[in-house]
Amino acid sequence: MKKAFVTKEQAERIASQFPTPFHLYDEQGIRANAEAVKKAFSWNPGFREYFAVKATPNPVILDILGQYDFGTDCSSLTELMLSKAAGILGDRIMFSSNDTPAEEYTYANELGAIINLDDITHIDFCEKACGGRLPETMSCRFNPGGVFQMSNGIMDNPGDAKYGMTEAQLFDAFRILKEKGVKNFGIHAFLASNTVTNEYYPQLAGQLFELAVRLQKETGAKIRFINLSGGVGIPYRPDQEPNDIAAIGEGVHQAYDAILTAAGMGDVAIYTEMGRYMMGPYGALITRVIHEKHIYKEYIGVDACAVNLMRPAMYGAYHHITVLGKEDAPLDHVYDVTGSLCENNDKFAIDRELPRIEMGDLLFIHDTGAHGFSMGYNYNGKLRSAEILLQSDGTPRMIRRAETPADYFSTLDILGLDLEK
């Protein structure tokens, strides 16, 4: 059973202050989860979560996570600027980019970020962008190729992914970086996305720990950290079992003792770059039903559309829907829940069993806290919604206003047109 983190009464109260649609975030949930993550890895004194900014790029959210001494994982100029605005600087920034423009390496270096190189050819490129001198701490991204398999089958396909270096390139890269004066090394890999199993991090960790032992032995590079990156998933579907972060942390701990500590490398720090796991369940898209339509299927039209939440249209992703106030009503209707884009994939749900929906009902679309608002766009001239934080004391705080037509037209200012209503 998936439960909404607000009641109909609470949601209506918030909607009377801030018109729908909006993304709503649950501060209590965010904080409890952040504490659980910290505790799960507390066996590792150097542990740090670098929150993947692209999941929820809002400085207030970054600030909340920063209070747990977490850092940020950035991969663009504006993400770096956001991290700076939230006061997260220096080695609390991991710059894990790919196909990186030179000026972004320059800026990351100015902020003192840890730079994670996606490719061996980026060594010279980055050195130039950093004014001819690489920072003392550098990380490299690894791609083992092939498929990534766990006990329940193939999870993902690194061999088809554009990211990272081959193993041979990684060994060469560490030798070259060491010759160029780099003193502290890190290894990073992201091999599977949205893994709803406790096995992913421990298995990835085991693979990276063995690689780290060989790398340090053969290249003499001092490995300071191993970055397990993102990919820890959440149960979007009500029948899925949530991950147990304590079990995941313990699984990584066992691999650490067996491989790193045994090889005399018990001082290596563990880093993570989780986005989805940190924020996904603690956000929801709140939208109001404005139309119903009975043709060859039954349609419910809402005031949000795919520009507010792209995942269903883009990946066919499932997002659970609660009709607020009808949590216990029988699921005796089947609907397509649609937005207003002139695109037939603009459907938040297809053939979904739901209680009978009436005009004016509020829908709580679950698990939009990560990769929700942030994937928004402006197709059909639709505007991005507000983001509202439901604070721990129960009061709502607007942490991003909704776009207005003036925002949409702002890049046409060079034409001097009259774009008034």
Binding site for ligand PLP (CB under 6 A): 52, 54-55, 73, 96, 190, 193, 229-232, 273-277, 370
Residue 346: how many other CB atoms lie within 10 Å: 20
Residue 186 or 355: the one with the smaller Cβ distance to ligand PLP is: 186
H-run or E-run covering 300: strand 298-302
Q: How far is the CB of 278 from ligand PLP (least distance, A)?
A: 8
Minimum CB separation from ligand PLP for residue 376, in Å?
16
Q: Facing residues of 334 across strands?
A: 353
- Residue 355 or residue 372: which is nearer to ligand PLP going by CB? 372
Q: Which of these, 212, 310, 221, 219, lies nearest to 261 by C-alpha position?
A: 212
Is the four-CA dihedral 15, 18, 20, 25 of positive or negative sign?
negative
CA–CA dist 386, 293 (Å, integer): 27
Residues 6+ apart with CB under 8 A from 343: 306, 313, 379
Which of 273/346 has CB closer to ligand PLP? Answer: 273
CB 384 within 8 A of CB 376: yes
Q: How far is the CB of 37 from ligand PLP (least distance, A)?
A: 12
Cβ 149 to ligand PLP, closest distance in Å?
A: 19
As given in the structure block, the two tokens for residue 224 are 């300071």
> Distance between CA atoms of 62 and 49, rounded to whole angstroms?
12
Say whether 69 sits in a helix, a strand or coil: coil
Residue nearest ligand PLP, CB atom distance: 230
Task: Report the DSSP pairing between strands 153-156 and 184-188.
Answer: unpaired
Amino acid sitting at position 49: E
Distance CA 90, CA 105 (A): 14
CB of 194 to ligand PLP, least distance (A): 6
Q: CB-wise, 189 or 302, nearer to ligand PLP? A: 189
Minimum distance from residue 231 beta carbon to ligand PLP (Å): 5
Least distance from ligand PLP to the Cβ atom of residue 200, Å: 11
Name residue, tokens 């499932």: 318
CB distance 225 to 186 below 8 Å:
yes
**Cβ at position 190, least distance to ligand PLP in Å:** 5
Residue nearer to ligand PLP on the CB measure, 75 or 287: 75
**DSSP structure string for 80-141:** HHHHHHTT--GGGEEEE-SS--HHHHHHHHHTTPEEEESSTTHHHHHHHHTTT---SEEEEE
Return d(Cα 63, Cα 69) in angstroms, integer.
10
Contacts of 63 (CB under 8 A, 6+ apart): 86, 87
What is the smallest separation between the CB atom of 43 and ligand PLP, expressed in angstroms? 21
Q: How far apart are CB 273 and ligand PLP at their closest, in Å? A: 4
Cβ within 8 Å of residue 410, ≥6 positions away: none
